[in-house]
Structure 1
């Protein structure tokens, strides 16, 4: 069984109240390697490690099916500043 981009995206939006989620399947279709950008106000005041832990907790069940999950997490403010460059 494999996991889809849409399943991951839905889970992250629901669990983290994410306002922006980009996920790319980089596993040539096997659904085992993903790269993600996640924007959530729940990351406010947290270290990068704490942000990544929140993401890992949100998709803990799915992580059993994933071989690689690279993520970039940011607050809405940081995302807005980065987007305006």
Structure 2
């Protein structure tokens, strides 16, 4: 199973998202071709309702703790409650980082 699929499966199981997008952004970094080291996650979940950003990020990190041991190096997180996602519906593009 790819690390990307593992991230999707673990977040789905742990946080029951109503919206989930996982982007492998490793190609934007100085890593070998076909690497799975840098990801961006956009996730909407009822679990995030009433929680501050740090608490939300901790939940995501806890769900993916095994993935960090399997090569996940960097994770950009955009976490929303369903109400917030309805208002936002867009997150900024990640910058290129090939240094």
TM-score relative to the length of structure 1: 0.88
- The 1-side partners of 2:16 and 2:53 are apart by 17
- Which protein is bigger by CA-based radius of gyration? 2
Q: Does 1:30 align with 2:35?
A: yes
Select which of 15, 39, 58 maps to 2:44. 39
Select which of 73, 81, 85 maps to 1:79. 85
1:27-58 CA deviation, whole Å, 9 max, x = no partner?
Answer: 12200110110111100111000000000001
- The 1-side partners of 2:44 and 2:50 are apart by 13
Select which of 56, 63, 76 maps to 1:58. 63
Q: Please state how far the C-alpha of 1:3 moved relative to its aligned partner.
A: 4.5
- The 1-side partners of 2:41 and 2:26 are apart by 13
Q: Please state how far the C-alpha of 1:4 moved relative to its aligned partner.
A: 2.5
Q: Which segments of 5 or more consecutive residues in structure 1 lack a partner in the other structure?
A: none
Q: Which runs of 4+ in 1 moved over 2 A?
A: none
Work out whether residues 3 and 66 of structure 1, in 8 Å CA contact, stay in contact via their aligned partners in 2. Answer: no
Other structure's SS at 1:45 match = coil
Equivalent pairs, count: 82
- The 1-side partners of 2:17 and 2:65 are apart by 17
Work out whether residues 3 and 67 of structure 2, in 8 Å CA contact, stay in contact via their aligned partners in 1. Answer: no
